[in-house]
Structure 1
Amino acid sequence: MSHDTNDLIHPVILCGGSGTRLWPASRESFPKQFLPLAEPGRSSFQGAVARLSDPATFARPVVITANDARFLVAEQLATGGVAADILLEPCRRDSAPAVAVAALHAAARDTQALVLILPADHAIGDDAAFVAAVRNARAGARAGHIMTLGIAPSYPSTAYGYIQPGSPLASDEAACTVVRFLEKPEATRAAALIAEGALWNGGYFLFRADVMLDELEAHAPAVLEAARAALAAATRDLDFVRLDAAAFARAPQISIDYAVMEQTERAGVVPVSFPWSDIGSWGALWEISPRDDAGNAVRGRVAVRETRNSLIHSSGEVLTTVVGLDDVVVVTTDDAVLVTSRHAAGEVKGLVEALRRRGEPEADAHRLMYRPWGSYQRIDIGSRFQVKRITVKPGGRLSLQKHHHRAEHWVVVRGTAEVTADGVVRLVHENEAAYLPIGCVHRLANPGKISLELIEVQVGSYTGEDDIIRIEDIYGRGNA
């Protein structure tokens, strides 16, 4: 059995959620953990990565994320100059299978490696206090406990689970045993729990890899078996590790709280009091946002009058104005508007589910869509046409593809495009155009040093994204 001689903590960031309670800013195509909601210019995922930057405390991080988010993760890591292992979940199975994969991944290098599980979508107001708390939990984890950070409640929330702490741990005076984990309570019970000294369960866990594997074997063997098989049959794709889809799909869909933490007798907790939020709703974001003298938290192109205790959030160029309303949330994007009371802001998830049932594309997709090569934004759409603005990063290459139902016209407005059409390759410069008839096998690439921008006009009987037949793709994507 090997040991980690320098006692580094191996952080694993769980980055697979969709954050539908923060619709319309957060959607399946660009979830909340990648948005700069709590901090201007920095997403909560980037904040989580930044908190792990001390090389004397933390080893190279691991990120476990959904396949569709892999290039968002890679790009935001690159922006921060951080290298990480990126493991891709082929489907959603909640947190227990992800934790099992994390423990197995760490144990392959060191069976007693200390593994820290942390969510990607939380806001923490004191990074130094967070790191100190993790260090305080290290002794308990090294002694064989599954340590968690118990957050001092600031109000009787019904949105969080609670932890009832017990007596001090013999191995660590800063930590306690856990009497029990409690499910999300109703309001009066939440107040009673706080009076009894209960803590919020923030979803942070620190443990030795072998300890977590033993507990999974005892309490959730089907989860462990599926995770082990998915990792054993994993394949490498560019800078990503793809877990085997068939094996991972066999894992029960269950949280680590249900699967292990509510069953184990090895849980410990370090009480912490740093500012914390899971940014679970627009109301929660209002709670942690800077507010003006009238109690308003505003972001973007916003003007308010006779309005109090409200959150007004405008994305892009949309000017959003509010007059004579109190305790409301108003969120605008280029293609959707949300108006709700702060009290009912937690109901947005149900609204999004209803929009999906109606087939509204805005439920999950933004008008601006990110791709591994860059992005595209819909400008206009009609019965037989669609207009997009396409941006391709330097070195970016779209798939070699064709369409059965549409022709495309490309007009370059910035940079130089390398256009392949039925085997012929040519350069198209600013203010020049290319025409691609229906059925033409084509590819767009940016060979230059600056971003390539072009306007694409699609004309045909059908302009949906599923009319893309990919013949070759450097990013490992199949047919759309």
Structure 2
Amino acid sequence: MLTAVIMAGGSGERFWPLSTPEKPKQLLKIFSEKTMIRETVDRILPIIPADRIFIATNELQEAAVKEELKDIPQENIIIEPAFKDTAAAIGYSALVVENRFKDSLKDGEKIEVVVLASDHLIKDENVFRNVLNKGAEEASKNGVIVTLGIKPDKPETGYGYIEVKTDEKIELNDIYKVKRFREKPNLETAENYVASGKYLWNSGMFIFTTETIFKNFDVLMEEHTEVFNDIKGKLLQNKVGMELTNLVRDDFEKFEKISIDFGLMEYSKNIRVIPVDIGWNDIGSFNALDEVFPKNSAGNVIRNSTVLELDAMDNIVVGDGAKISLLGVKDLVVVKNGDNILIASKSRTQDIKKIIQKGLK
């Protein structure tokens, strides 16, 4: 029984001023006439029906998510009462999914869960869906956790890496054992990773059965398991939405704030990876627009604005219909949304949250 959990939290900081805490990146129409979360749902609907797609979000974004995804049953909107990072979010969501379907399983059937981000760009959707099905079969048959590893096309320091356990050339869409997860490297290390041909970018997408993920929690994150056991009894009350959120609010405070990568994936002995080349981009900052959209003759990316430029090169400009003039500037990000305007060096876009926090003081 294939299901999906789409992670749709986020603070809305990386794409400020386009995004806000109430309307983060996944609720924006950046790349098409659809929001990114709508694109994510539509991408998997051919293989997973809407009643088996769950959205993990928070109280601040609940209303906007429900409004955007009216085809997803409201009881499938999982509202986390506190941000305790991805170990808690994925484990809690898997509990909700298991509780929903466990009584309807046929003999020998297992609940497979695909965990996806709500704000990734994937161009080759057919290959992506085929790989998800292949990963789900592997996860169910062999009791392993499967992740997708992105074939790197350059030495990237902004991603974690997965080292593949093989002496042979890595073939796309095959299944391999994972040797280890690697943290975000410096440039020299990233260059060595790419040159070796044995490393993949960590996409943060996972496939597992509920049985397997909780066995891993039992062994590697015992404190989380204790909280999960307390939550299980409350799930039996069949509450959904904010009623369920309020029931588990105190339980969430007991979770250690830790990512599933740090808490579980880096230590588990039964991880598999499927190398893929699917036109993936995690759209981690405005700089990603350089990789996605065409540039004009001066190397500028211009979206939703009219730009007058003179001796201005390699800039990213996003407006809300505004007329913007660029004179003698290079490698800038210029974004206007209403009364808010951001002007930043491309090299500092990862620090946008710092200027937001400074403004809140």
| TM-score over 0.5 for the pair | yes
Q: Which residue of 2 aligns with 1:275?
A: 279
More helix per residue: 2
Give yes or no for contact 1:86–1:240 (8 Å, CA) kept in 2. Answer: no
Identical positions, percent: 29
| Shift in CA distance, 237/263, structure 1 to aligned 2, threshold 3 Å | closer
Q: Which residue of 2 aligns with 1:116?
A: 114
| Shift in CA distance, 26/299, structure 1 to aligned 2, threshold 3 Å | same
- How far the C-alpha of 1:290 sits from its partner, in A, is 2.8
What's the CA shift string for 1:44-90, capped at 9, x where partnerless?
A: 11111111111468862011101111111101102xx4436011001
Q: Which residue of 2 aligns with 1:214?
A: 215
Q: Does 1:161 align with 2:154?
A: no
Q: Does 1:284 align with 2:288?
A: yes
The more displaced of 286-295 and 126-135 is 286-295
The more displaced of 270-279 and 291-300 is 291-300
Q: 1:259 aligns with which of 258, 263, 270?
A: 263
The more displaced of 142-151 and 124-133 is 124-133
Q: Distance in 2 between matches of 1:59 and 1:149?
A: 24
Q: Which residue of 2 aligns with 1:192?
A: 192
- How far the C-alpha of 1:236 sits from its partner, in A, is 3.8
The number of equivalent residue pairs is: 343
Give yes or no for contact 1:86–1:239 (8 Å, CA) kept in 2. Answer: no
Query: SS of 2:179's equivalent?
Result: strand
Structure 1 residue runs of 5 or longer lacking an equivalent are 1-7, 359-480
The structure whose RCO (Cα within 8 Å, separation 6+) is larger is 2
Q: Does 1:40 align with 2:32?
A: yes
Query: SS of 1:222's equivalent?
Result: helix
Query: SS of 1:147's equivalent?
Result: strand
Q: 1:89 aligns with which of 77, 80, 84?
A: 80
| Shift in CA distance, 320/173, structure 1 to aligned 2, threshold 3 Å | closer
TM-score by length of 2: 0.88
Rg larger in structure: 1
Q: CA RMSD in A?
A: 2.3
What amino acid is aligned across from residue 257 of structure 1 in structure 2?
A: D
Query: SS of 2:269's equivalent?
Result: coil
Q: Distance in 1 between matches of 2:27 and 2:127?
A: 23
Q: Which residue of 2 aligns with 1:312?
A: 317
Q: Which residue of 1 aligns with 2:15?
A: 22
Q: Distance in 1 between matches of 2:342 and 2:174?
A: 44
Query: SS of 1:233's equivalent?
Result: helix
What amino acid is aligned across from residue 313 of structure 1 in structure 2?
A: V
Q: Distance in 2 between matches of 1:239 and 1:41?
A: 30
Structure 2 residue runs of 5 or longer lacking an equivalent are 103-108
Give yes or no for contact 2:123–2:279 (8 Å, CA) kept in 1. Answer: yes
- How far the C-alpha of 1:173 sits from its partner, in A, is 8.3
Q: Distance in 2 between matches of 1:82 and 1:106?
A: 14
Q: Distance in 2 between matches of 1:33 and 1:241?
A: 24
Q: Does 1:301 align with 2:301?
A: no
| Shift in CA distance, 337/173, structure 1 to aligned 2, threshold 3 Å | closer
What amino acid is aligned across from residue 78 of structure 2 in structure 1?
A: L
More strand per residue: 1
Q: Does 1:13 align with 2:12?
A: no
- How far the C-alpha of 1:240 sits from its partner, in A, is 7.5
What's the CA shift string for 1:24-46, capped at 9, x where partnerless?
A: 11121211111112x13212111
Q: Which residue of 2 aligns with 1:457?
A: none
Q: How does 1:46-61 map to 2 (within 5 A)?
A: 46-55=38-47, 60-61=52-53
Q: Distance in 2 between matches of 1:74 and 1:173?
A: 34
Query: SS of 2:134's equivalent?
Result: helix
Q: Which residue of 2 aligns with 1:140?
A: 138
Give yes or no for contact 1:156–1:194 (8 Å, CA) kept in 2. Answer: yes
Give yes or no for contact 1:136–1:174 (8 Å, CA) kept in 2. Answer: no
What's the CA shift string for 1:317-369, capped at 9, x where partnerless?
A: 5433323322211001112111112122222122222222x2xxxxxxxxxxx
Query: SS of 1:174's equivalent?
Result: coil
Q: How does 1:78-477 map to 2 (within 5 A)?
A: 78=70, 81-83=71-73, 85-108=76-99, 109-110=101-102, 112-142=110-140, 143-167=142-166, 174-197=174-197, 198-230=199-231, 232-233=233-234, 236=239, 241-242=244-245, 244-306=248-310, 307-315=312-320, 317-356=321-360, 358=361
- How far the C-alpha of 1:285 sits from its partner, in A, is 2.5
- How far the C-alpha of 1:239 sits from its partner, in A, is 8.4
Query: SS of 1:343's equivalent?
Result: helix
| Shift in CA distance, 184/55, structure 1 to aligned 2, threshold 3 Å | closer
